[in-house]
Amino acid sequence: MQILIGIFLAILVAVLAWRAGSLSWSGALAAVITGGLIFGLGGPPWAVLLLTFFISSSVLSRAFSKRKTSLAEKFSKGSQRDWGQVLANGGLGALLALGYTIPPHQEWLWLAFAGAMAAVNADTWSTELGVLSTIPPRMITTGQKVERGTSGGISLIGILAAMGGATLIGIATVIFTASQSWLYRLNIIILGGLVGSLFDSILGATVQAIYWCPTCNKETERHPMHTCGSPTSQVRGWYWVNNDMVNFACSLMGAIVTAGFWLLLT
- Residue 146 CB, nearest approach to Zn ion (Å): 18
Nearer to Zn ion, 2 or 215 (CB): 215
Give the nearest distance from C-beta 233 to Zn ion in angstroms: 12
> How many amino acids of this chain bind Zn ion (CB under 5 A)?
6
Q: How many helices (H) and strands (E) does the chain have?
A: 9, 5
* Residue 22 DSSP symbol: S
Q: Which of residues 200-219 bind Zn ion (CB under 5 A)?
A: 213, 215-216
Q: What per-residue string of b and e applies to 3-24 under the rule 16 or more CB within 10 Å gives b?
A: eeebbebbeebbeebbeeebbb
Give the range of 97-105, 126-134, 142-150, 223-231 binding Zn ion by CB under 5 A. Answer: 223-231
Q: Between 73 and 200, whose beta carbon lies closer to Zn ion?
A: 73
DSSP state of 1: -
Cα 34 from Cα 225, distance rounded (Å): 30
Distance separating alpha carbons of residues 75 and 151, to the nearest angstrom: 9
Q: What minimum distance in Å lies between the beta carbon of 214 and Zn ion? A: 8
CA distance 196 to 253: 5
Choices 76-84, 126-134, 224-232, 233-241; region in contact with Zn ion by CB under 5 A:
224-232
Phi and psi for 116 in degrees, rounded to 5? -65, -45
Q: Closer CB to Zn ion, residue 70 or residue 215?
A: 215
Near Zn ion in 116-175, by CB under 5 A: none
29-to-23, 32, 62, 77, 244 alpha-carbon distances in Å: 9, 5, 22, 18, 17
176 backbone dihedrals φ, ψ, rounded to 5°: -90, 5
User: Is the CB of 104 or the CB of 224 nearer to Zn ion?
Assistant: 224
Taking the complex as a whole, the smallest distance from the CB of residue 153 to Zn ion amounts, in Å, to 19
Considering only 59-67, 127-135, 222-230, 247-255, which stretch makes contact with Zn ion by CB under 5 A? 222-230
Q: How far is the CB of 147 from Zn ion (least distance, A)?
A: 14
Peptide bond into 224 cis (omega under 30): yes
Does position 223 interact with Zn ion (CB under 5 A)? The reply is: no
User: Can residue 32 be called a binding residue for Zn ion (CB under 5 A)?
Assistant: no
228 touches Zn ion by CB under 5 A: yes
- Phi first, then psi: what are they for 224, rounded to 5°? -85, -10
- Which of 57, 226, 252, 257: binder of Zn ion (CB under 5 A)? 226
Segment near Zn ion (CB under 5 A), from 144-152, 154-162, 198-206, 228-236? 228-236
Q: What is the DSSP string of 24-86?
A: -HHHHHHHHHHHHHIIIII-HHHHHHHHHHHHHHHHHHHTTHHHHHHHHTTSSS-SSB-HHHH
Binding site for Zn ion (CB under 5 A): 213, 215-216, 226, 228, 230
